[in-house]
Amino acid sequence: MSELSKAYEPREVEAKWYEAWLAGKCFEADPTSAKPAYSIVIPPPNVTGILHLGHVLNNALQDILARRARQEGKEVLWLPGTDHAGIATQAKVERELREKEGVTRRDLGREAFLEKVWDFKNRHGDIIIRQLKRLGCSCDWSRERFTMDEAYTEWVSHVFVELFKQGLIYRGKRIVNWCPVSLTALSDEEVIMTPQKSKLYFMKYELADAPGEFLEISTTRPETLMGDVAVAVNPKDERYAKYIGRKVRRPFPAAEIPVIADDHVDVEFGTGALKITPAHDKADFEIGMKHGLEIIDVLTPDGHIHCPELPELHGLDRFVARRKAAEMLEAMGLLLKIEEYDNNVGFSERAGVPVEPRISMQWFLKYPCVKEAADAVANGDITFRPERWAKTYAHWMENLQDWCISRQLWWGHQIPVWYRKDKLAELKGAAALGMADFESGDIHVGTTAPADEDQWVRDEDVMDTWFSSWLWPFATMANVGEDTATLRKFHPTSDLVTGPDIIFFWVARMIMAGFRFTGELPFRNVYFTSLIRDLKGRKMSKSLGNSPDPIDLMDKYGADGLRFGLLRIAPMGSDLRFDESSVEEGRNFANKLYNACRFRQMAGDLPPMEGEPEFSCFHRDIMAKLDDLSTDLVRLYADYRFGEIAQRLYEFLWSEFCDRFLEAVKGDLRDGAPLAARQATLLTFDRVMARFLQLLHPYMPHVTEELSERMGFVAAGEFLMLQPLPSSPMIDGDAADAREITTAVHETAGRLRNLKAEYQVAARRDVRFVIKGAPAWTDSVLKVLRLLAGAGEIVLDDAFDAPKGTPAVLTSMGEILMPLEGLIDVDAEKERLDKEIEKVGKEVAKAEGKLSNASFVERAPAEVVAQEKERLAEWRGRLAQLGEMRRALG
């Protein structure tokens, strides 16, 4: 190991090792390997996205699992890739075109626009990939996939065709969630319900057959009034029974519309009379269908009023028109009042504007293999962690609605359906399309275009991005119809690591698609990560500017520091409040580790040992503790307790290894120490550190690889990341005797330091201690005790006659006195003792109280009672001692 700077500098080290791993093909999976398989598919990030903390947590976890699996002797495939992210990517490119070239996608036309998007993808698509590499992710990059690769696209078409032929995909005119900004339909999952301060408008419609008599109606959307085709009341509502079957006057455009009865109407809400606008509300649409009502669409796709008969409103934005319509009603004397009203409004997930329920022709999917998918989680074939998400999943699976899979976008997988040109008008006008049209030869549904392509027109829509993502686990491993070695070896995958926010979007759908198209479950375990929030508990978002850039954090603290810091505070199951100080801790931890190794390096090397090493209790103790750590980690990994694993690693290195072990053996390394002791100490250091680096490696891959090399723990040309975990413990047995002694020494040293601090002599190195009644082994650890306590001299003298008032502590190494030699302020000491006596007195009273409780003594387990008695004896002894000291001072 060459000279090391005082502080660890991760930057070059991390870059160097990532290159080395790539060059060594350490991440590449071999499907012909005889080792058992372990596989994960990455949740593909948006191809044009940039790394945020959520990605860091998610991918660090996957990397930990992958690296640990390699150490366990598995053949590991971590399959990476990116998602084309239809709406998000198209919106970005459209914005760029608008700003830079002043053109819209329609100006360019479909083909030219798609070229622009591909160009954009080629320019930005590898940003997030590079960022994942910076983080240290051990993905098999030779297998990187993109959801719009040719072979992947073939899968998407193939799946569409299969499901169509199975009768699960159909086209129909329905009310869908329409985004007036993106100009496309959305699935129910892409709509975010948000509480809004709205207004409830109360108005009245005049009875057609009884001028002067009015029916009162309440609505939040007066601007769609022109699309009203009826007013509905509840049939049980006695107030309105007399109106059913009669007509009321719609104010504008003037028309007479019927009053109908429908159970859906809530008697309690508003006036209890509901205006029916089938074109602009899902419930109204259903009522309209039931009663055979007309559908009048009064909105344009981009959310403006379309009603040429009413020039006052025609062309206005929907929200402007709302106020205007209310004004018009007021002018006509028909507006009764406006109330403030809290309701939930659906917002477009991507565009952030209220969605518009809109009638349109879309493709829908009835989900396949619903029962199998629901059962797989219910019966434990797939495990969710934390388990409670299984309930959320089950609830969604029980209430599945058909999935609107078509999008009015250009960037995506185009629907593989062609219409015969000569039937186009007819087909477009149809209320629904399905197998019958296919069988009649009017439409072509296939993975390739029909032979006489010029006689056909392809459906312009593309598919929902999730319609490609749900195939990810198997479509990344084999092409359609192929049975590759990769698929055979690595599918089903082992673990899936993802956020609970995409249970419906992705996880549930993958389970269904996996079952339908491979006959297998796509994964065995799903680990749901924490959602990362800021310190105020807010979700991280670009607009709030509360989302730290992980690249900045890596610049400052290193990738290892970021990984470790984040993982150490990641709770299982609940949200995580991110605090940069935890990343700082991660950096500090790497530095601590580095300096421990630096210390070892400075000790140099010694001639090889002759015979068996002479291990002291401190040596055996740290080895036994490392064995304990190794065993515990096996269990913790099995339970996916990532935060606890980090915590245990941290404690071992910092507290056990550095604070206790290293401090205790420092004396062995001083000049003049016996050679055998030096040799045993360095040997212990090397053995323990070599194993520790390996245990830590999944969390901090770069620094551990670096130190293993520099310390010579791994042979030249080999990698720590590929070394299998040792199968045997470092020492036989539990070294209980060593643990007892080392614990006693450290405890005692702590008591002595504490004593020194109490008497304001903490910094002095010349304080003398006298031990009375020391155990037999004390002699062997006396030097260590002196070192740890920062004492000048420690003598064993059972006959020592202490002057009255000499401070003393009762320890597991006997009674230890600290002769004051008259250097202490007597008044301050009296005061201190009085306080101490009061405190100890309370403890004695507490213990006595407990032991005088008959039911406690009789019913608590004997060992608990005994423990309590022992405690009481200790406190009493202490109290007596304090009293004596106090009396000595007068």
| Contacts of RNA in 593-622 (CB under 7 A) | 595-596, 598-599, 602
Contact flags string 554-573 toward RNA, x per CB under 7 A: ---------------x-xxx
Which of 219, 518, 616, 708 forms a contact with RNA (CB under 7 A)? 219
| Segment 381 to 400, residues that bind RNA, using CB under 7 A | 388, 391-392, 395-396, 399
Phi, psi (rounded to 5 degrees) for 160? -60, -50
Query: For every residue of 424-453, which 3-state class applies, written as one string?
Result: HHHHHHCCEECHHHHHCCCEEECCCCCCCH
For the bound state, the minimum distance from the C-beta of residue 302 to RNA, rounded and expressed in Å, comes to 21
Q: Does 281 bind RNA (CB under 7 A)?
A: yes
Residue 465 and residue 85 in contact, taking contact as beta carbons nearer than 8 Å:
yes
Q: Does 146 bind RNA (CB under 7 A)?
A: no
Q: For RNA, give the closer residue by CB, 57 or 159.
A: 57
Q: Could you tell me which of 52, 82, 77 has the C-alpha nearest to residue 495? A: 77
Q: For RNA, give the closer residue by CB, 159 or 335.
A: 335
For the bound state, the minimum distance from the C-beta of residue 259 to RNA, rounded and expressed in Å, comes to 14
Q: Does 588 bind RNA (CB under 7 A)?
A: yes
For the bound state, the minimum distance from the C-beta of residue 845 to RNA, rounded and expressed in Å, comes to 13
Q: Does 785 bind RNA (CB under 7 A)?
A: no
Q: Could you tell me which of 735, 722, 708, 718 has the C-alpha nearest to residue 597? A: 708
Q: How far apart are CA 695 and CA 115, in angstroms?
A: 48
Which of 269, 520, 736, 780 forms a contact with RNA (CB under 7 A)? 269
Q: For RNA, give the closer residue by CB, 114 or 273.
A: 273
Which of 754, 792, 842, 880 forms a contact with RNA (CB under 7 A)? 754
Pairing of strands 145-146, 81-82: parallel
**274 sits in which H/E element:** strand 273-276
For the bound state, the minimum distance from the C-beta of residue 282 to RNA, rounded and expressed in Å, comes to 5
For the bound state, the minimum distance from the C-beta of residue 469 to RNA, rounded and expressed in Å, comes to 17
Q: Does 753 bind RNA (CB under 7 A)?
A: yes
For the bound state, the minimum distance from the C-beta of residue 100 to RNA, rounded and expressed in Å, comes to 35
Identity of residue 333: G
Residue 17 and residue 702 in contact, taking contact as beta carbons nearer than 8 Å:
yes
Q: How far apart are CA 175 and CA 306, in angstroms?
A: 18
Q: Does 590 bind RNA (CB under 7 A)?
A: yes
Which of 654, 683, 777, 810 forms a contact with RNA (CB under 7 A)? 654
| DSSP 8-state secondary structure symbol assigned to residue 243 | G
| DSSP 8-state secondary structure symbol assigned to residue 125 | T
Q: Does 541 bind RNA (CB under 7 A)?
A: no
Which of 30, 216, 317, 644 forms a contact with RNA (CB under 7 A)? 644
Spell 462-481 as b/e; 16+ CB within 10 A means b. bbbbbbbbbbbbbbbbbbee
Other Cβ atoms closer than 10 A to 884 = 13
Q: Does 702 bind RNA (CB under 7 A)?
A: no
Tokens of 324: 């205007």
Contact flags string 501-530 toward RNA, x per CB under 7 A: x--x--------------------------
Residue 201 and residue 220 in contact, taking contact as beta carbons nearer than 8 Å:
yes
- Burial class of 608 by CB neighbour count within 10 A (0 to 12, 13 to 18, 19+): exposed
Q: For RNA, give the closer residue by CB, 474 or 594.
A: 594
Contact flags string 732-751 toward RNA, x per CB under 7 A: ------------------x-
Q: Does 576 bind RNA (CB under 7 A)?
A: yes
Q: How far apart are CA 257 and CA 669, in angstroms?
A: 99
| Segment 309 to 368, residues that bind RNA, using CB under 7 A | 343-344
| Residue count, binding to RNA (CB under 7 A) | 87
Q: How far apart are CA 93 and CA 96, in angstroms?
A: 5
Longest Cα separation, the chain: 119
Helix axis angle, 10-23 to 550-569, nearest 10°: 80
Other Cβ atoms closer than 10 A to 225 = 27
Which of 372, 459, 663, 740 forms a contact with RNA (CB under 7 A)? 663
| Segment 187 to 216, residues that bind RNA, using CB under 7 A | 188-189, 192-193
Which of 166, 574, 631, 812 forms a contact with RNA (CB under 7 A)? 574
Q: Does 872 bind RNA (CB under 7 A)?
A: no
Tokens of 11: 């930057």
Q: For RNA, give the closer residue by CB, 162 or 628.
A: 628
Identity of residue 448: T
Q: For RNA, give the closer residue by CB, 146 or 856.
A: 856
For the bound state, the minimum distance from the C-beta of residue 342 to RNA, rounded and expressed in Å, comes to 9
**78 sits in which H/E element:** strand 75-79
| Segment 842 to 861, residues that bind RNA, using CB under 7 A | 853, 855-856, 859-861
